[in-house]
Structures are given as C-alpha cells and as structure tokens.
Amino acid sequence: MPERAKVQAEAGERHLDDERARNINGLGKVLAGWTAEEVADFAVYLRRFNTDVERLAGHP
C-alpha cells in the first residue's frame, strides 16, 4: 500500500474509533438510569431493528 493511502487509512480508522467512543459514551449516559432488564430488552429490539434495516437495504 502506498504511504499516502496508508496514512489516510490510519486517519480514517482513528476517526471511526473516535466516533464509536462518542456513541458509546452518549449511549451510556442515556442508559444510566435504566435497569439491567430494560437495557437487555433494548438490546434485543435494537438488534432486530438493525437486522431489518440491513435486510431491507439488501445487506445480509
């Protein structure tokens, strides 16, 4: 891989890592007052929602 492409790929990975950390932090703040059961239920529904969105978009 050419050096420029490698640098761009690494910068992209850092950006995705930063974005993921912000999302997780924000989600943690929202769920802080939820019970473990509520969080578990949410995870089930979120997984189903994401699976259906991907299916409708033509992704397995």
pTM score, two decimals? 0.65
50: containing domain:
3-56
pLDDT, tens digit, 9 for 90 and up, residues 1-54: 788 888 888 999 999 999 999 999 999 999 999 999 999 999 999 999 999 999
Q: Are 49 and 56 in contact, with CB atoms under 8 Å apart? A: no
Helix 36-56 / helix 3-31 crossing angle, nearest 10 deg? 140
Number of domains making up the chain: 1
